Amino acid sequence: MNICHIAPACRSRLAANRGAAILFKFCCFTVLLAGLVASQVLAQSNRASPASSIAASQTIPVEDFFRRPDLQRPMLSPDGNHLGFLARSGGRLGLAVIDLEKRTSRFVATLTEADVVEFHWVNSNRLVFVSGNVSDPAGLVAPWRTGGLFAVDRDGTDARRLALPFGDGNAIVVRPRSTRFLANVSEASDEIIVASNERTFDSSDVYRLNTRTARRTLLTYDNPGDVMSWALDRDGVPRAANSLKGIRARASFRRDEKSPWVKWSEGDFRDPVPAPLAIGYDGAVIGLAYTDRSTNPRLTASLVRLDERGQVQQTLASRPEHDVLQPIFDPVGKKLVGAVVAGDRSNVLWLDDAWAALQRQIDLALPGTVNVFLPPEQSKRMLVYAYSDQNPGTVYLYDLRTKKLEFLIDSRPWIKPEQMANSRIVKFNARDDLPLTAMVTTPRGVAARNLPTIVLVHGGPWVPGYQWSWDAEAQFFASRGFVVVQPNFRGTLGHGTRHVLASFKQWGLAMQDDITDAAQWAIKQGIADPKRMCIYGASYGGYAALQGLVRTPDLFQCAVSYVGLTDLQLFHSVTWSDTSDTDFTRFLLPVMVGDPDKDRAQLRATSPAQNADKIKGAVMLAHGTEDRRVPMIHAERMKAALEREGKPVEWLIKADEGHGFVKLENRAELYSRIESFIRKHTGGN
């Protein structure tokens, strides 16, 4: 029996070009949201066919790649009758709600001095949201959170501030307070469960917070200390906690809200102890652990059931090459049904036959895309998010009762998939045989042989890496004729603990060699022209770009560092960074990057600003004057070092920009300048 029926009005859209669909054009209705669609809505009759679009296409404007989506983070209400989302309003992101029954929409919350960066449904009538300042859309860093927590009804009434903001993201703030949403309580309640470090900066507590009165009740007066994350049971009671003190990780547990906390396990964070994540509907503690170490050389994390002593009782889900990240529960069926797994693309490992069958049916209905969905809270509707290397993302509404799949919206309707380049994930080994991957994007319409190439290094560096998906930077450079190689070097998360540990104290060394090996792989494959290669990145990626010219001066013709670090010793001496005077700087940085005293020589040897004499290639530096993550002194010190060596520097500085440019005009100028700079030094096509 076909359990996934596509509404007739949607079939042609699914079969044709999903990426060029009309903004807010639903299968059976059109929503006109003031201020959003005026420049977006196109007449269906005026849309060119894919073939004619390609034939008539011109160079895609740089702005099209780096404009933010007009709709972000769509989320259904618990009853499935309303869709909340973030949308642009007056230059800021606001919170809007669509009534799926009446086919009407409205903004329910906008802020003049901040964006709405996150929201959650309290129940089907009320929402909470977090204020912040949205950062660079190319994925440089997550949106700045200012700590302001607010609540509002879905019709825009009864707005209330629940927690004060602590700054604007660019302010110099040491150990800020914040309040973070953990869970709602029930459909009948206006209360939520939040975590806050109000009592002590070094540890979070759990509170029950009334979103009508702002009254909060402390649930963790007896706190195990230094808590980074909590696991709640189905009644909202904190039952397990994960703590970090210095470099020591600890897991704690209690039987119920009246029982004392018991230390389950403790150890060096480099040898992780089992970490509780959630309490199942049956009361079982679900967590992550590194099982079967003798047969698991990568030390990937598995989803496990823990006993009351914190020991692994049962392995529920595991993958040999990638970490399991979190469990998936079915609130209606009240059971564990799957797990989210890291990988070359977004991946769900279903443990329940019915949900696995539904995944297969939706994949058949939406071929060629990765299709992601989660069980709904209580309704018979759920969202399906579909994406590919050429499609930035399309949202569908699936009805579990009627088995109908309805198109809702394209995240970037101005992006036409037939004009986008193809990307693929490749595997290769580093010189020390560590398994690595990279995403490779090749220009459309030309043979992928001996082309000018950009090695694009991600920031972090300890963040999830590149997956098979639409990437704004890769697509922009590919549209200009460049091959783009994006390596997942050691330290990239999701590939197991040993992959991370292999990066410790290897900035500019083995981590840099991985990037070099990715470039050499592209050369050996005949894709990249060895005489036309440039390296580019932001933040850590900017550091790696410069270090590429230092460590392998004959490999790259140029490097672009965007808000990049240039002197590793500034980690410890600069006091106006937002990472200054934190546990990361005092305890983890010496272990993960280098001790300021014991490793002084290595830090100097791997700092581009202190090795400018080794650089042969051309350098471009781009920075924001208000950057508090990587302060301007990094760019200034690098520029001065190069000029002392008589080497010119392409210099792009933007006032009132931080760790990543926010204004579209500045982003457009940045990438246009980068393109011109790289083309000048590689000869382009």
CATH code for the domain in which residue 452 is found: 3.40.50.1820
d(CA 405, CA 583): 48
Residues 489-498 have pLDDT tens digits of 999 999 999 9
| pLDDT at site 575 | 56
Nearest to 369 by CA among 390, 338, 342, 396: 390
Nearest to 569 by CA among 546, 551, 583, 589: 589
d(CA 477, CA 59): 12
Domain membership flag for residue 103: no
d(CA 117, CA 62): 25
Domain membership flag for residue 464: yes
d(CA 356, CA 296): 26
- Which tokens sit at 500? 């991370």
Q: At what angle do helices 510-524 and 540-551 cross, to 10 degrees?
A: 70
Give me the sheet containing 312-317, strands edge to edge. Answer: 275-279, 285-289, 302-306, 312-317
Q: How many residues in the chain? A: 685
- Which tokens sit at 406? 């309805």
Nearest to 272 by CA among 289, 259, 287: 289
Please give the C-alpha separations between residue 88 and each of 7, 71, 408, 441, in angstroms, as whole numbers.
30, 7, 18, 30
Domain membership flag for residue 237: no
Domain membership flag for residue 370: no
DSSP symbol at 610: G
Q: How many domains does the chain have?
A: 1
Domain membership flag for residue 315: no
Q: Would you call 308 exposed, middle or buried from its count of C-beta atoms within 10 A (0-12, 13-18, 19+)?
A: exposed
- Classified as helix, coil or strand, 538 is strand
Structural domain including 631 reads 421-645+674-682
Show Cβ contacts of residue 365 under 8 Å, excluding neighbours closer than 6 positions: 4, 6, 14, 405
413-429 b/e (C-beta count within 10 Å ≥ 16 → b): bbbbbbbbbebebbebe
| pLDDT at site 469 | 97
Contact status, residue 41 vs residue 638, Cβ threshold 8 Å: no
- Classified as helix, coil or strand, 219 is coil
| pLDDT at site 54 | 33
Domain membership flag for residue 493: yes
Give me the sheet containing 115-121, strands edge to edge. Answer: 115-121, 126-133, 144-153, 160-163
Please give the C-alpha separations between residue 539 and each of 1, 356, 545, 565, 583, in angstroms, as whole numbers.
51, 39, 10, 6, 20
Show Cβ contacts of residue 39 under 8 Å, excluding neighbours closer than 6 positions: none
Amino acid at site 685: N
Over the chain (685 residues), what is each successive 10-residue block's mean pLDDT?
A: 36 33 26 32 31 50 92 94 92 92 92 90 97 60 62 96 64 57 94 92 92 96 95 96 94 95 93 93 94 78 94 94 96 96 92 97 97 92 97 96 94 96 98 97 96 98 95 98 98 95 98 99 98 98 99 98 96 66 80 96 98 98 94 97 97 94 94 98 76
Residues 185-222 have pLDDT tens digits of 999 999 999 999 888 877 899 999 999 999 999 999 99
Give me the sheet containing 324-330, strands edge to edge. Answer: 324-330, 335-341, 347-350
Contact status, residue 304 vs residue 274, Cβ threshold 8 Å: yes
Tokens 């440039």 -> residue:
534
| pLDDT at site 599 | 97
Q: Name the H helices within 480-539.
A: 497-501, 510-524
- Classified as helix, coil or strand, 556 is coil
Domain membership flag for residue 131: no
Domain membership flag for residue 255: no
| pLDDT at site 628 | 87
Q: Residue 65: enclosing H or E segment and its boundaries?
A: helix 62-66
| pLDDT at site 448 | 95
